[in-house]
């Protein structure tokens, strides 16, 4: 019989590395907060739909205006206080110090070492898509109402731009950082684009 030496060096190899990676990818692509994701899109999309179909749904301008403003207000509160914190780990708020001065606070949640609180990529896409697209639509509605002389709808449209634009600005500040970081990030991006354009020209000149 052949005996194996007990001093032989053995190496343990995990047979499930591929499965672990697949499980991590599936967790990142999974929607962890379906109710928050639904509410993130429901109020703002409903406000846009009511604005577009208000003349068909009701002849009362006041009823349509109140409905749109209520939807926009619910959207502002939900996105600022709930969906941003759950879906992307960001939040912003205003606080008053002891001297009575108002300060805006922008905060981003740091991921844990084990990744237990990793942000879902699917939720992140839903969050930023809704956060960016809807304010742009309200800006388009503002120009449309202005050039078509629908002055009575300007107040509603400006409310939509203001409320959803405030959330967009707040979460961009949370994501990027302070104004200095935002400026440095923009400068870095422009510098990198400039280097990409000049590098091929330099290589051709050398060759």
Tens-digit pLDDT profile for residues 2-52: 444 444 444 444 434 444 444 445 555 688 889 999 999 999 999 999 999
Higher pLDDT, 96 or 181: 96
Q: pLDDT tens, 66-75?
A: 999 999 999 9
CA distance 126 to 128: 6
Whether residue 160 is predicted with pLDDT greater than 70 in this model: the reply is yes
Six-digit token pair at 146? 């202005």
Beta strand 90-96 with 102-108 is antiparallel
Q: pLDDT tens, 164-194?
A: 999 999 999 888 874 555 556 556 666 777 7
Lowest mean pLDDT among 128-132, 187-191, 200-204: 200-204
Nearest residue to 145 via CA among 127, 160, 132: 160
Query: Sign of dihedral through CA atoms 192, 193, 195, 199?
Result: positive
DSSP 31: -
CA distance 104 to 93: 6
Q: pLDDT tens, 11-20?
A: 444 434 444 4
CA distance 198 to 203: 9
């Amino acid at each position: 019989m052949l005996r194996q030496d007990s001093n032989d060096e053995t190496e343990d190899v995990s047979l499930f590395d591929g499965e672990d990676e697949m499980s991590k990818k599936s967790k990142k692509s999974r929607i962890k907060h379906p109710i928050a994701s639904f509410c993130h899109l429901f109020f703002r999309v409903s406000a846009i739909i009511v604005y577009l179909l208000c003349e068909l749904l009701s002849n009362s301008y006041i009823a349509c205006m109140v409905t749109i403003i209520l939807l926009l207000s619910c959207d502002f509160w939900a996105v600022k206080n709930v969906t941003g914190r759950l879906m992307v780990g960001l939040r912003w708020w205003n606080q008053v110090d002891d001297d009575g001065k108002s300060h805006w606070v922008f905060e981003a949640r740091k991921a844990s070492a084990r990744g237990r609180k990793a942000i879902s990529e699917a939720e992140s896409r839903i969050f930023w898509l809704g956060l960016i697209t809807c304010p742009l639509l309200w800006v388009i509605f503002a120009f449309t109402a202005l050039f078509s002389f629908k002055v009575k709808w300007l107040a509603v449209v400006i409310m939509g731009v203001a409320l959803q634009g405030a959330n967009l600005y707040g979460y961009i500040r949370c994501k990027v950082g302070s104004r200095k970081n935002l400026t440095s990030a923009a400068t870095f991006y422009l510098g990198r684009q400039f280097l990409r354009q000049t590098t091929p020209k330099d290589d051709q000149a050398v060759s």
